[in-house]
Amino acid sequence: MAAPHVVLVGLMGVGKSSVGRALARELKRPFVDTDSVIESNEGRTIADIFAVDGESTFREIERRTLDSVLASSEPAVIATGGGVVETDECRETLLRLRRAGARVVWLAATIATMAERTGRSNNRPLLTGDRESTLERLLDRRRGFYEEVSDAKIDTDGKSVARIVREVMKAVSQTSAPAGGRRVRVALGERSYDVAVGAGAISQLSSMIPADAKRAVIVSQVGVPSIPEIDLPTHLVHIGDGEHSKTLATVEDLSRQFAQFGLTRNDLVIGVGGGLVTDVAGFAAASWHRGTRVVHVATTLLAMVDAAIGGKTGVNLPEGKNLVGAFWQPSGVICDTNWLATLPDRELRCGWGEVAKYHFLTGDDLLAMPTDERIARCVQIKADIVAQDEREGGRRALLNYGHTFGHAIETVTGHHFAHGEAVALGMICAAHLARLTGRIDDQRVDTHYRVLDAYGLQSRLPANLDHDALLVAMGRDKKATAGLVFILDGHNGLESVPGVDPARVLESLALAAGVR
Ligand SMILES: NC(=O)c1ccc[n+]([C@@H]2O[C@H](COP(=O)([O-])OP(=O)(O)OC[C@H]3O[C@@H](n4cnc5c(N)ncnc54)[C@H](O)[C@@H]3O)[C@@H](O)[C@H]2O)c1
């Protein structure tokens, strides 16, 4: 396990070394400046390494140095070189370390301040030509990277070193993972954010509230536990329960309440509830003043492992579910597993239906993990998929495993099965279809049954279902753009498979309705 280092990142001239040294004194820890370590190991200045061996050699030395500094088991304050975030491996290392408890703080300053401060040094090989425009270019390129790897950003302009140290210490204490909990990063460049997950994670809420927000509207429902008071004036709005409340009329009503409360574009919406609340609050925030920040506090299992993460927001129309919406990433998400205690059994079961799909997305043995760890792992899997494919152009579609069959089962049974229950049955149908098309063996089909049983989910399709009607419903699926499209398991994991033979689909339905 890596030590809980405090790592400072940021462009040259923001004060990483002076702040790092003072912070280390305050925390009674060693201070390590990776640039100084490189110079002492190499026996020459950074400017010399750049001049003789070039930037790529320097970056490789820097990567090795960072690895060895971070591997130390004694917690330290570490100041990094400004360009460390440009190396994929270094960013990966920083993100991995944060998952293990280290904290990364981004020190920032205006271009003018950085230009003024760097003017005193001649060991800045990238700072050639017009200093201000070079710094601007570097910041443009690196801003998203700093955002991605850091827990907090501190502006340093006009502040004394002592004050910056105090602010870093406050940020580090606020972003520390709750006891038994953790933070998962959704890495999306400038739109990156954290998901705090675990028992007591709600204590992390204040650290997710943007410093410049002046007021917040809390969107929730009657019966959903309330959040602790926050340090801003708030206005609480309860929206209705059930899919019939997930409408444009609800968004209009919310927006009018935003207006009456004086919510500005710099303020905050906080969605507190299940997937319905986070979808509606997220969509209202996405459209309010063309985009206002939103933090989600997920209170159902389904919202924790799925709906609140990834930025899909929207509402229903009489013509269909989730037809109007937007991608709008939150600024942070809280998944406090203590709140599952009040969740009705059926809602919990529906959440497990979505958790079950994660068993087939990676090779992890989720059943072997304690519940909170399993939920955190599902959050991590979803975060990784969203980071790779924010707009569902590819891999994100795999999160729809079991959904083509599941939606048809919901429709044809008139919603006798709730979404998560239908998805679980859908995965059994998909497993049989994959077996029939030679993609998986019997043993893998058995694994599907074993996973569903472990979550107390029904795994046998009711005998009296009309299979032809299911087939027609699947043909109407909005994803059925190339004949019948299914996400199917296989030797290489889940894949999207177009043009599936309807006869095979009917066979798999018959097998799913049989005794296993
Ligand atoms: N955006 C996405 O990526 C995404 C993904 C999956 C689902 N969804 C959407 O999520 C919605 C379903 O979400 P859901 O399953 O969370 O249902 P939900 O939000 O309707 O909540 C279910 C019920 O539980 C209550 N509840 C919530 N938290 C509670 C708590 N801690 N204790 C007691 N009661 C509580 C709610 O008031 C509600 O009555 C659907 O509208 C679906 O379209 C969105």
Whether 314 is in the pocket of ligand 1, judged by its Cβ within 6 Å, is: no
The pLDDT of residue 1: 41
The pLDDT of residue 3: 58
Domains of the chain plus CATH, in order, are: 6-175 (3.40.50.300), 182-344 (3.40.50.1970), 401-513 (1.20.1090.10)
Whether 301 is in the pocket of ligand 1, judged by its Cβ within 6 Å, is: no
Residues 6 or more apart whose Cβ sits within 8 Å of residue 425: 402, 405, 406, 409, 417, 458, 459, 461, 512
Q: Over 90: is that where the pLDDT of 421 sits? A: yes
As annotated, the active-site residues are 290, 312, 354, 382, 392, 396, 400, 403, 407, 419
Compute the mean pLDDT over every residue in the chain, rounded to the nearest whole number: 92
Instruction: Name the band, by pLDDT with cuts 50, 70 and 90, for residue 175.
Output: low
Over range 30-41, report the average pLDDT: 95
- Maximum distance among all Cα pairs of the chain, rounded to whole angstroms: 81
What values do phi and psi take at 415, rounded to 5? 65, 30
Over range 186-207, report the average pLDDT: 91
The pLDDT of residue 117: 83
Nearest atom within ligand 1 for CA of residue 277: 19
Are 93 and 64 contacting, i.e. CB atoms less than 8 angstroms apart? no
Instruction: Name the band, by pLDDT with cuts 50, 70 and 90, for residue 411.
Output: very high
Q: How far is the CA of 281 from the centre of ligand 1 (A)?
A: 12
**497 or 73: which leads in pLDDT:** 497
Question: What does the pLDDT look like over 142-173, one tens digit per residue?
Answer: 999 999 999 889 999 999 999 999 999 888 87
Q: How far is the CA of 471 from the centre of ligand 1 (A)?
A: 28
Q: Over 80: is that where the pLDDT of 516 sits? A: no
Whether 240 is in the pocket of ligand 1, judged by its Cβ within 6 Å, is: no
Cα–Cα distance for residue pair 48/35, rounded to 1 Å:
13
Nearest atom within ligand 1 for CA of residue 298: 28
DSSP 3-state assignment of 461? coil
What b/e sequence results for 372-394 when a residue is b if at least 16 CB atoms lie within 10 Å of its CB, and e otherwise?
bebbbbbbbbbbbbbbebbebee
The pLDDT of residue 177: 55
| 239, 244, 302, best to mutate for ligand 1 pocket (most atoms within 8 Å of CB) | 302
Are 357 and 431 contacting, i.e. CB atoms less than 8 angstroms apart? no
Over range 438-444, report the average pLDDT: 97
The pLDDT of residue 261: 98
The pLDDT of residue 115: 86
Torsion of CA 326, 328, 334, 339, to 10 degrees: -10
DSSP 3-state assignment of 195? strand
Whether 224 is in the pocket of ligand 1, judged by its Cβ within 6 Å, is: yes
Q: Over 60: is that where the pLDDT of 36 sits? A: yes
Nearest atom within ligand 1 for CA of residue 322: 43
Over range 199-226, report the average pLDDT: 93
Whether 302 is in the pocket of ligand 1, judged by its Cβ within 6 Å, is: yes
Whether 220 is in the pocket of ligand 1, judged by its Cβ within 6 Å, is: no
What b/e sequence results for 454-479 when a residue is b if at least 16 CB atoms lie within 10 Å of its CB, and e otherwise?
ebebbbebeeebebeebbebbeebeb
Cα–Cα distance for residue pair 193/179, rounded to 1 Å:
20
Strands 103-108 and 6-9: parallel
Q: Over 90: is that where the pLDDT of 42 sits? A: yes
Whether 300 is in the pocket of ligand 1, judged by its Cβ within 6 Å, is: yes
Q: How far is the CA of 191 from the centre of ligand 1 (A)?
A: 24
Question: What does the pLDDT look like over 318-334, one tens digit per residue?
Answer: 888 899 999 999 999 99
Q: What percent of the chain has pLDDT over 90?
A: 78
Instruction: Name the band, by pLDDT with cuts 50, 70 and 90, for residue 99.
Output: confident
Taking each helix axis from N to C terminus, what angle separates 161-174 and 16-27, rounded to the nearest 10 degrees? 60
Cα–Cα distance for residue pair 217/282, rounded to 1 Å:
12
Instruction: Name the band, by pLDDT with cuts 50, 70 and 90, for residue 123.
Output: low
The pair of three-digit structure tokens given for residue 93, joined into one six-digit string: 């290392």
Residues 6 or more apart whose Cβ sits within 8 Å of residue 456: 349, 352
The pLDDT of residue 257: 98
pTM of the model: 0.77
**H helix intervals, 262-314:** 275-287, 301-302
The pLDDT of residue 218: 98
Residue listed under structure tokens 């700093």: 146
* Beta bridge partner(s), residue 220: 238
Question: What does the pLDDT look like over 287-311, one tens digit per residue?
Answer: 999 999 999 999 999 999 999 999 9
HSE of 170, CA atoms in CB hemisphere, 13 A:
11
The pLDDT of residue 178: 52
Q: Over 60: is that where the pLDDT of 2 sits? A: no
Q: How far is the CA of 42 from the centre of ligand 1 (A)?
A: 57
DSSP 216-260: EEEEE-TTSPPPPP-SS-EEEEEPPSSGGG-SHHHHHHHHHHHHH
The pLDDT of residue 180: 44
* Beta bridge partner(s), residue 312: 327
